[in-house]
Amino acid sequence: MPETNPFLTMVPRKMTDEELARAIRLNIQAELDAINLYQAHIDATDNEDAKKVLAHIRDDEKEHVAEFLALLRILDPAQAEALDSGQEKLQGILAGTHQHDGGESQAEVAETSPQLTVGSLIEKEE
């Protein structure tokens, strides 16, 4: 007979915000894995009904990732700052205005750096 004790899964203590943030990161990882798994199932079938259901479930998982990230921002302010900083850095990279450690923008570094290609690594016969 199944266990009917409603307190069976209770833990002896509550998690701290730091511990909960770690658990939420694992939840995000699990949601991302689920998204990839459901997409693989969609890609592996020709059954249109199954594709619709799996796509709906996959999209729910994407929403869960967003909700977990929002919660993580509340639980871990340093993580929130890192997410904001990463977003700003990405915008700078895409706009070509991101400053490297030397103070040059990505576009300036690309203009002054020699561009190596596979061909330039092969010794030329004379």
Q: Which pTM was predicted? A: 0.70
Span 60-98, pLDDT tens digits: 999 999 999 999 999 999 999 999 999 999 999 999 988
Spell out the domain ranges in the chain. Answer: 17-98
Span 83-92, pLDDT tens digits: 999 999 999 9
CB-based contact 41:54 (threshold 8 Å): yes
Burial class for 80, CB neighbours closer than 10 Å (0-12, 13-18, 19+): middle
Kindly tell me if the per-residue pLDDT of 120 is higher than 70: no
CA 18 to chain centre: 20
Q: Which pair of tokens denotes residue 38?
A: 């459901």
